[in-house]
Amino acid sequence: MTSPRKTYIIANWKMNFTPGQASLYLQRLSNRVQASRDIQVILAPSTISLQPLSLQINRRQFKLAAQNFYWRDFGAFTGETAISQIRSFVDYAIVGHSERRYIFNESEKDICEKVAAAIRNGVTPILCIGETALERKNGETKSAISAQLHEGLLNVSAEDIDKVIIAYEPVWAISSNKNAKPAKPADIAEAQELIRKQISRVYGKETSENISILYGGSVNADTAAGYLEIPGIDGLLIGNASLVGDSFCSIIETAKGIRNER
């Protein structure tokens, strides 16, 4: 694959940091992270922190992502936040994260609608897909990944597919899962090959070579290099390790080093 795809390092802060804490952490990161043309660092704070951080952030260093949003652009939906309301703050949005799927019971229809909503509002969706431990045990990994990919992209046209990023996130490997087990490079490589083949069948070979595929699941400073060196993996979706400045900055530097070697 010869496409000049960027490397994405995404920090999913989940339900951590108050707006004040997020601001202080961003300031510390800003003093340590150098902007890079080939490395895109993306921060996904809680929704309540998006607006103040958007005023503080240096967009040459970092971009912001929404962790969640509702797919309707407006209406009587108490407690929800539309992507149209936060699109001026963010460039990216995480969609289909396993915690949204399995804790909050988001359906494939919800996820499909969110991908389409992000695109029509000028925001790049980061579509998360991945099998559960039970699906893996039952030999259903390929069918689970294929189904989630198909459903998530159902409303994405050939003209818009290049606006989507895919994140392979096996549920059984996520550190917030008490039974988490690190994914093996061979498993990740196989998953990204499956994703590219399916994209190729639907959208064409060139699109499959150009689309960015990330990995997420128990990523830390010690494991980042091994994941980033897997052919076809274009970055990392990071949870716990992104909350610690030393760990997160170490991962960014690792990504830069691997990128320079290539």
The overall longest dimension of the chain from CA atoms, in Å, is: 52
Annotated catalytic residue within 97, 99, 106, 135: 97
Distances (CA, A) of 165 to 90, 136, 161: 15, 23, 9
- Residue 127 structure tokens: 């579509």
Q: Who contacts 257 (Cβ-Cβ below 8 Å, separation ≥6)?
A: none
Nearest partner of 93 among 117, 123, 122, judged by Cα: 123
Indicate if 150 belongs to the active site.
no
d(CA 248, CA 245): 5
Annotated catalytic residue within 99, 106, 135, 169: 169
- The answer to whether 160 and 119 have CB atoms below 8 angstroms apart is yes
d(CA 191, CA 183): 11
Angle at CA of residue 122, ends 54 and 156, nearest 5°: 140
List active site positions: 97, 169
